Amino acid sequence: MIEMKELRKAYTTGKVEFEALKGIDLSIKHSEMVAVVGPSGSGKSTLMNIIGCLDVPTSGEYRLEDDPVNEMTSNQLADIRNKKIGFVFQAFNLLPYATAYENIEVPLLFARVSGKKRRERVNELLARVGLADKAGNKPTEMSGGEMQRTAIARSLANDPDLILADEPTGNLDSKSGGEIVKIFHELWSAGKTVIIITHDMNIAEQAQRIIRLKDGLVEGNGNLA
C-alpha cells in the first residue's frame, strides 16, 4: 500500500535549513497494523503528515496504492485525504458546537453523499463504536474516550483503506486508551491498514510491526513475535 524510497523533507527558516527526514525507505502492506515510534524530533510527525498527504516530500518517492503522491496537485491530495485516508488525532479535532452525529457526518457532506445514505452511514458508525445513545451529545457532554470514539467513527465515514492515528491515546486514561486500541484491532481484523504514531511502547507493542525513527532515519523496522 505504501512505498517510500529515499524520502527527504527539509524546512527552511530564514537562511537555516533543517532536514526532518533524511532518506526514508519504507514499505507498509495492505491490512498491516504498524506503530511508528521515536523520541521527540525523530521525524514522526513529519512522516505522518507525508503519509497522510498533508505535506509533500522535498525529494524522493512516495507511492500510495501505486499512485505517485509526490507528483500530485493540491486538489488530488485533498481528494485522497477525503476518500482513502481516515485521520484520528490526539486532540480529537471535533467541531465543538456540533453533535457526535454532525461531526461524523462532515466527511460525507464533503463527499456529497445523499441525505438518506448519510443517515444510514452515521447511525451505522455510531453503533460500531458503541455511541448509538450519544448521537445528540456535543463534545463538552462526552468523556475523552467518547470523543475519541466519535473521531474514529468520523475517520471511517467514507470507508477508507488506511487509518492514520497520531498519538490517539495521548489524552486518555489507561482504560479509555485500551478501549481505543481495541477498536483499532477490530478495524485491522476487518482488513483496514492501521498506522499508529505513538511514544507509548505499551501501545506500540500491540501492533503487528514497529518502525523506529531516530534523527530522521529508520533505526529499526521489524515484526513483533
Please count the other Cβ atoms lying within 10 Å of the Cβ belonging to residue 8: 15
Determine the Cα–Cα distance for residues 52 and 21; give it in Å rounded to an integer.
15
Domain, as residue range, for 6: 2-223
Total domains in the fold of the chain: 1
Give the pLDDT confidence score for residue 223 in this predicted structure.
64
Domain holding 19: CATH number?
3.40.50.300
Give the pLDDT confidence score for residue 225 in this predicted structure.
44
- Which residue is associated with the grid cell 509533500? 56
pLDDT means over runs of 10, the chain (225 residues)? 94 86 94 94 92 94 92 91 92 96 95 94 96 96 96 96 94 92 95 94 92 92 60
Torsion (CA) 114, 125, 152, 176 in degrees, nearest 10: 160
Give the pLDDT confidence score for residue 14 in this predicted structure.
81
The fraction of the chain above a pLDDT of 70, given in percent, is 98
* Phi, then psi, of 133 in degrees rounded to 5: -90, 5
Give the pLDDT confidence score for residue 168 in this predicted structure.
94
Residue type, 208: Q
Give the pLDDT confidence score for residue 220 in this predicted structure.
77
Alpha helices by DSSP H, listed for the chain, are 44-51, 74-83, 100-110, 115-128, 144-155, 174-189, 201-204
CB burial of 163-194 (b: ≥16 within 10 Å; e: otherwise) equals bbbbbbbbbbeeebbebbbebbeebbeeebbb
